[in-house]
């Protein structure tokens, strides 16, 4: 199937990308847009490593056709840092400061799910956090430090 | 870089356009949230030549839930929408709960109720409660529309009565009577992102503490949702919360299921789970009603 030029709005920028109908967003982000922050773990919807935010919803880029994202706003892990200064978002800092990162493979997905939670619910309970992150697997940390990082970020003023 | 077999992609903006494409494009498959379809494409279980994305069709995204009017859901209503809808939680709590137990948060933001039904997997989360709430489906094709109860829709493992070129357009939930109480429950290996070992939904219609009518639907124990005959027989005419009746109902449910052994659970364990689910749901219902 021939590739066509499709415009996708990624992190506030319109990007013209070469996309075939069957390309999934995770691959297009990494290989066409050069945004390798988004990880592809299972490619099957099970791990959440590929989580991005589309039109305000945390979704899985490995199960999303890139071509179906025309006209939508896509935010990746690269897009939540300050776009001018490059300064990390408070949730990114919280993950670092609280040791919520070990191998780091789950981290972009964890952060996108956490970011999405905190934009909707700035003062989540531990139960809210556990539920919001229940679609993200981490094989290293045991989750506790991740939950603490999200709580600390909420306590220190949130993500915005 | 892609591992999917090539196909052509269409995103019709109207229902007519969608139905026309489905009627005319060879080997076409409907795409809603993609949480089942994309996995099936990746596993090379299906090989469509044309993929028709129906999520832009306005009729498939409608939502109505007015007082005394039940609810009307376009097929592309997402699982997450149902999980969070205050109206649905108030009127159809067992359905809203079931929708909120599908996969994880991202899967629920993508996945749709129409997709959950059309996929017709034996362990699907929403059919049992929709059947207990007596939900109907409006199916649409280029040749017109027809309405059928959810319980007649699923005919087997990943089989349903959709004909070529036909889609689920709307899910209609009739207004429940004030004396109707419904509860859904499931058992899985972990609390999210798992496939149910067994699930169950029970409806009780109650007058003065007595069960006048009952329904029990079990999932993940047969090739399609199993509508119990023995559980209502054990419950009708008894008092809500009567422990003898609860035990009899659980045994009745167990006598009806002949589940399989698979990677998730043995057949014997599934039978135990069915008994436990039945007792748990009936006790929870009693606590709510009394
Ligand atoms: C990690 C993961 C966990 C999951 N966990 C659960 C779970 O716990 N419980 C559960 O029940 N499901 C689960 N699922 C399956 C899935 O998320 C749900 O079944 C979902 O509701 C499907 O909706 P969809 O819109 O994504 O369907 P799609 O994938 O878009 O479509 C599914 C099928 O239905 C057809 N279809 C879709 N909409 C229509 C329509 N309106 N008319 C006719 N045909 C249509 C498609 O052609 C396809 O064959 C899980 C999936 C994943 C990836
Ligand atoms: S890579 Fe998308 S869920 Fe695992
Ligand atoms: S830090 Fe390694 S998987 Fe989470």
pLDDT of B21-45, one tens digit each?
A: 999 999 999 999 999 999 999 999 9
Whether pLDDT at B143 is above 80: yes
Mutational pocket test of ligand 3: of A98, A106, A145, the residue with most ligand atoms within 8 Å of the beta carbon: A106
Q: Ligand 2 pocket, A62 CB below 6 A?
A: yes
pLDDT of residue B4: 85
Q: Does A44 touch chain B (CB under 8 A)?
A: yes
pLDDT per residue over B239-277, tens digit each? 999 999 999 999 999 999 998 888 888 999 999 999 999
> pLDDT value at position A1?
66
On chain A, the residues whose CB falls within 8 A of the CB of B103 are 45, 135
CATH 3.30.70.260 describes domain A90-155: no
What is the pLDDT, as a whole number, of residue A2?
Answer: 80
Residue B194 pLDDT? 72
CATH of B180-289, one of 3.30.390.50, 1.10.150.130, 1.10.260.40, 3.50.50.60: 3.30.390.50
- Contacts of residue B55 in chain A, CB cutoff 8 Å? 68
Segment B274-286 shows an average pLDDT of 98
Q: What is the pLDDT of residue B196?
A: 85
Q: Residue A57 burial (CB < 10 Å; 0-12/13-18/19+)?
A: middle
Domain spans of chain B? Answer: 8-53, 59-173, 180-289
What is the average pLDDT value for chain B, to the nearest integer? 95
Q: Which two tokens stand for residue A36?
A: 């390798």
Q: Which of A21, A113, A134 is the closest to B8 by Cβ?
A: A21
**What does the pLDDT average to over B196-200?**
92
CA distance A76 to chain B (A): 14
Nearest ligand 3 atom to alpha carbon A139: 3
Q: What is the CATH number of domain B59-173?
A: 3.30.465.10
Ligand 1 pocket, B122 CB below 6 A? Answer: no
CB pair distance less than 8 Å for A113 and B106: yes
Which residues of chain A have a pLDDT value below 70?
A: 1
| pLDDT over 70, % of chain B | 98
CATH topology of domain A4-79: Ubiquitin-like (UB roll) (3.10.20)
Q: Give dist(CA A74, CA A29) in Å, integer.
A: 10
Kind of pairing, strands B50-53 and B8-10?
parallel
Note the CATH number of domain B8-53: 3.30.43.10
d(CA B286, CA B132): 17
State mean pLDDT over B147-154: 98
* Tens-place pLDDT, residues B160-179: 999 999 999 999 999 999 99
- Closest approach of A148 to chain B, Cα-based (Å): 20
Bridge partner list, B160 = B154
- With an 8 Å Cβ cutoff, is A59 touching chain B? yes
B82 within ligand 1 shell (Cβ under 6 A): no
Which pLDDT does position B1 carry in this prediction? Answer: 44
Interface predicted TM-score of the whole assembly (ipTM), two decimals: 0.97
A4 touches chain B (CB under 8 A): no
Domain layout of chain A by residue ranges: 4-79, 90-155
| B35 vs A: CB within 8 A | yes
Q: Ligand 3 atom closest to Cα of A103?
A: 2
Asked if B109's CB is within 8 angstroms of A20's CB, the reply is: no
pLDDT band, very low/low/confident/very high, at B193 (cuts 50, 70, 90): low
Q: Kindly indicate the confidence band of residue B188, based on its pLDDT and cuts at 50, 70 and 90.
A: confident
- B174 φ, ψ to 5°? -70, 155
Q: Which atom from ligand 3 is nearest to the alpha carbon of A100? A: 1
Are the C-beta atoms of B270 and B174 separated by less than 8 Å? no
pTM confidence score: 0.96
């Amino acid at each position: 199937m021939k590739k066509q030029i499709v415009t996708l709005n990624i992190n506030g920028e319109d990007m013209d990308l070469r996309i075939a109908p069957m390309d999934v967003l995770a691959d297009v982000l990494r290989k066409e847009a050069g945004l390798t922050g988004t990880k592809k773990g299972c490619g099957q919807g099970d791990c959440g490593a590929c989580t991005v935010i589309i039109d305000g919803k945390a979704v899985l880029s490995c199960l999303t056709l890139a071509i179906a994202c025309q006209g939508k706003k896509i935010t990746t892990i690269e897009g939540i840092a300050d776009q001018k200064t490059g300064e990390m978002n408070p949730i990114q800092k919280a993950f670092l400061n609280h040791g919520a990162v070990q191998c780091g493979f789950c981290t972009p997905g964890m952060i996108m799910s956490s970011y999405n939670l905190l934009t909707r619910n700035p003062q989540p309970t531990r139960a809210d956090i556990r539920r919001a992150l229940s679609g993200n697997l981490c094989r290293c940390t045991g989750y506790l430090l991740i939950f603490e990082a999200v709580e600390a970020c909420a306590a220190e003023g949130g993500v915005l | 870089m892609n591992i999917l077999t090539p196909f052509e992609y269409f995103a019709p903006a109207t229902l007519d356009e969608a139905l026309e494409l489905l009627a005319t494009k060879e080997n076409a498959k409907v795409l809603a949230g993609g949480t089942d379809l994309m996995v099936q494409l990746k596993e090379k279980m299906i090989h469509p030549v044309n993929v028709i994305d129906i999520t832009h069709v306005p009729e498939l995204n409608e939502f109505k839930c007015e007082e005394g009017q039940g609810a009307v859901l376009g097929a592309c209503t997402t699982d997450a929408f149902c999980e969070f809808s205050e109206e649905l939680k108030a009127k159809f709590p067992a359905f809203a709960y079931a929708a909120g137990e599908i996969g994880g948060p991202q899967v629920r933001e993508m996945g749709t109720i129409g997709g959950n039904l059309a996929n017709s997997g034996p362990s699907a989360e929403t059919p049992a409660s929709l059947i207990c709430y007596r939900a109907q489906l409006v199916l649409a094709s280029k040749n017109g529309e027809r309405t059928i109860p959810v319980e007649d829709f699923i005919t087997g493992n990943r089989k349903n009565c959709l004909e070529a070129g036909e889609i689920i357009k709307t899910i209609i939930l009739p207004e429940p009577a004030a004396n109707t109480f419904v509860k859904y429950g499931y058992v899985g290996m972990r609390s999210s992102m798992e496939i149910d070992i067994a699930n169950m939904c029970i409806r009780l219609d109650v007058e003065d503490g007595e069960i006048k009518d009952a329904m029990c639907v079990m999932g993940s124990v047969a090739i399609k949702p199993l509508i119990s005959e023995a559980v209502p027989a054990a419950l009708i005419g008894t008092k809500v919360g009567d422990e003898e009746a609860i035990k009899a109902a659980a045994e009745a449910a167990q006598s009806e299921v002949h589940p399989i052994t698979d990677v998730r659970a043995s057949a014997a364990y599934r039978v135990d789970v069915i008994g436990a689910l039945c007792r748990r749901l009936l006790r929870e219902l009693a606590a709510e009603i009394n």
